[in-house]
Amino acid sequence: GVMESLGLGPDVLLQENPRLIYARLTGFGQTGKYAKSAGHDINYLALSGVLSKLGRKNENPYAPVNLLADFAGGGVMCALGIVITLFERARSGRGQVIDASMVEGVAYLSSFLWKSQKVGLWNEPRGENLLDSGAPFYEVYRTSDGKFMAVGAIEPKFYNQLIKGLGLNLDELPAQMSLFGWPEMKKKFASIFAQKTQAEWCSIFDNTDACVTPVLSFDDAASHQHNKERSSFIKNDQGEISPRPAPVLSRTPAVPSRKRDPFIGEHTEEILLEYGFTKQEIAKLYSDKAIELKKLKANL
């Protein structure tokens, strides 16, 4: 209701410009019991049902920072909605309002979880299924130097290479998909991974299809050979590292800025001046705390 209170709600603006696409990104959506309630990523994730699936056996559900609801279910889904609406407008000539709820966005993002319940992927309690740390061949293991290796050897041909790299004999182990054998297999795998450093395991599993990769820190990810070859990370003029825009387009790839991120309010005045505001009007907006201004001090 903030925009309505300013007289800038969608009903008003769409009358002024029927082609306008008006995106409303909120946690709980524009209608419903919680529509006007405060919340954060963990709350939206909880209400979507997805949080109940995240976490290890005998532990509380675990929210993976704020990536799922805020950014994936919220930002990405809202951006997708804008793209879809632009496409539709090209045919109809009319705009519309996008009601992007983070609860619904992350629920829709998790459609795979909902649709695959009856095929045996999620029949067990949390933390005991194929992809949620229940399986020994889809898990993270600590190495002797305190680092970690990620294992995702689901298909038999990949699993066979995992077993070979670990120095085990497939004929002497329980069947891969025997759930009853998983707890002991996890202990066995953990004890073996703990005997070598991350670098030693990389030398064993690199260039194989065992689906075993190192768990990299941000610094290590930016310097990893594969990522360096693809220029997956960029450095700005302050030496700060961040991911390159993705996905990569063949004909019109993004050209990322190498400049530092702007400070809050750094360009407010110049942009408002470009749009015809006077300095007196800008000063009034600042005194009313409607905008922020930040003028950089000269480096002498």
Taking the alpha carbons at both ends of the chain, their separation in whole angstroms is 47
Which tokens go with 91? 């045919």
Catalytic residue, from 40, 206, 209, 219: name it: 40
Question: Is 99 noted as a catalytic residue in this protein?
Answer: no
Least Cα distance to 192 among 151, 220, 221 occurs for: 151
How far are the Cα atoms of 69, 217, 274, 295 from residue 267, in angstroms, in the given order? 30, 34, 11, 8
Q: Using alpha carbons only, what angle is made at residue 254 by residues 253 and 256, rounded to the nearest 5 degrees?
A: 145
Q: Are 86 and 21 in contact (CB under 8 A)?
A: yes
Q: How far apart are CA 279 and CA 30, in angstroms?
A: 37
Helices 41-48 and 102-109: angle between axes, nearest 10 degrees: 60
Question: Is 226 noted as a catalytic residue in this protein?
Answer: no
CB atoms within 10 A of CB 9: 16
Catalytic residue, from 11, 70, 145, 288: name it: 70
- Residue numbers annotated as active site: 40, 70
